[in-house]
A and B are shown apart, each in its own frame.
Chain A
Amino acid sequence: MTAGTALRAALAVETLKLRRSTVARVATALLVLLVPLGSVGMVALARSPQAVGPTAAKLADYAAGDLATTHLLVCGQVLSVAALAAGGFFVAWSFGRELESGTAGALFGLAVPRGTVALAKCLVALAWITSCVVLAVAVTTAASALVAGVSGDSFPTWAGVRNAVAAGLLGGGLALPFAWVATVTRSQLGTVGALVGMVALTQIVVLLGGGTWFPYAAPSLWAGMGGADAAAAVGPPHLMLAAAMAPLGAAAVVNAWRRLTNV
C-alpha cells in the first residue's frame, strides 16, 4: 500500500463520515441558505423605510451604492466569520469525538497510518468548507440577480463574487488550527470553547487597533466589517498570514496524530 493509496482510502472513509455527519448537514444548510438570505435581507432592510434609529445607523453602510455589490459585500463579511464558526464546529466533531469516544484508539495499528487519517480529515474539512462558501456565494449571486432583475438594477459584479469567496475561504481556513486544539484537549466542547474565546480575543484585538496583523481579524476587516478605512489597511501580507493558518494547522494536527499516545 503506497502513501497515495493510503490517503485515498482515508479520504473515502472521512468523506463518508462527513456525508453522514449531523454537524456538517446543519452547518451546510446554515451557510448555504442563511448567509444568502441574511445578505439580501440586510440590504433590503437597510434600504427600507422601516430601518430607523439604531438599526438604520448599524446598516448605514448598506443603505447606498450598487445593490448587487452591496449584497456580495455583506455576504463576504458574514462568511468570513460564519465559515470559521462552521469549520471550527466541524473539526471539533471530526477530531474531538474520535478521542472522546475512544475510536482514536482503534485507529492504531492500521495499514492506513494515523497521520494519513488526520491529513484526510483536514482535506475533507477544507473541501467541504470550500464547497459551502462557493455555494453560499452562488446562491447570494443568484438571489441578487433576481432582485436586480426585478428592481432594474445592475447585475452582480465578478469582483464582488471573487472577494466574497476569498473572504469565506480565508475565514474557513482559520478553522484548521482548532483540529489541533481538539486533539490536544481531547474534547469537542473544549474546542468549541476555544473557538468562542478566539472570536472574543479577535474583537479585543480589533478594538485595540491591532487587527491587520492578527490572522483571525484580517479577513473580516478586509471584507469591510470594520469600515472602508480598516479594509484599505489590510494588504496582501496580512491576508497571506491569515491564509497560512490552514496549512500550519494541518501540519500541527497531522504531527500530533502521528505522536498520539495514551489513548
Chain B
Amino acid sequence: MTAPALQLDDVSHTFDGRAALDRLTLTVLPGRVTALIGLNGAGKTTALRALTGRLRPTYGVARILGHDPAGMPVDTARRFGHVVDTPLVYPELTVTENLRCAARLHGLARHAAAAAADAAVGRMGLDPWRHTRAGALSMGNRQRLGISGATLHRPTALILDEPTSALDPQGVVLVRELVRGLADDGAAVLVSSHHLDEVARVADEIVVLHGGRDVGRLEPGGTDLEQRFFAMVLDADTRAADSRKAGSGSLT
C-alpha cells in the first residue's frame, strides 16, 4: 500500500476558544491532486498551516513525507514545497533574484539555483519581468513568482493555497499544467481553492471542508459541481443544527 505523502490525522485546533479545525483527517497520495474547498472561514488555510508546520495543532498529527513538518530532516525538506498565504517573495529583489534565493533555500547549489531560476522564469511566463523588482509586479505576476519559487526544485509533496486567486486565464492554465505535470511525475499535491471550475479541471479528488470539519467528497467531473458543493454544505449545516437541537432536548 502506498504511504500518504501529505497527512493530517485527527487534527483539531482552536483560536480563542473557537474551533477552526475539528478532528480533520486528510491524506494525499503520491501522484494525486487533492483539492480542499470550502467557504471563507471553513478552515482551509488553518489546515494548510498545520500541515506546513507553521501552526502546532491543539490535537492530532501532521505529516509531510512521513515526518513532522515542524522538524523535517533536510532530505525531506528538499522534496517539499508550499505557498500558503504569503509566498517567499521579497519586494526589493528582482524576479530572477527572488527565484535564485528560493532555489538556494530549497537546497540547490549556486549554479543549479541559477539554472533552476532561469527555467522557472520561462515556465511561468515571467521573462518580460525577469529584471523587474517584485515590488513593482502586478498581483498576478507576484503570484506566478511565488508559485515558481515553491516549485522550481520539482517537489514530491506540494501545498498551494488559492494558487489561482489573482491569475489571468493564461496564468491559470500555466499553474494547472504545472500542478498536473508534477502529479504526473509522482508528486502529491494539495490545493485549496474557491474556483470550483478550476478545481474540477485539475483535481483527482475534492474534499469539502465546512466549519473545520471534513463534510464529504465530491467527484471532480460533471457540470453541477457548484450545486453539489452547496447541497453538501447545507446538509452539513442541517445535520449540525439537528444535532444541537437533540443535545439541548436531552438536557431539558
Question: Measuring CB to CB, which residues of chain A are less than 8 angstroms from any residue of chain B?
Answer: 1, 5-6, 9-10, 12-13, 16-17, 20-22, 101-103, 105-113, 117, 261-263
Contacts and interface: CB of A to CB of B under 8 A. Distances in A.
A262 B74 CA distance: 22
Contacts, number: 93
B101 interface: yes
A109 B71 CA distance: 8
Interface in B103-121: 104-107, 109-110
B55 interface: yes
B77 A110 contact: yes
Interface stretch (B78-86, B186-194, B238-246): B78-86
Contacts of B54: 105, 108, 261-263
Contacts of B97: 16, 20
Interface string B35-78: 00000000000000100111110000000100001101010011
B213 to A, nearest CB: 22
B78 A103 contact: no
B140 interface: no
B105 A261 contact: no
Given A21-B92, A103-B88, A103-B89, A1 B107 contact: yes
Contacts of B110: 12
B90 interface: yes
Contacts of B106: 110-111
B104 A105 contact: no
Contact of A102 (B55, B82, B86, B107): B86
B50 to A, nearest CB: 10
Contacts of A5: 109
B93 interface: yes
Interface string B203-217: 000000000000000
A106 to B, nearest CB: 4
Contacts of B74: 1, 6, 111, 113
A12 B86 contact: no
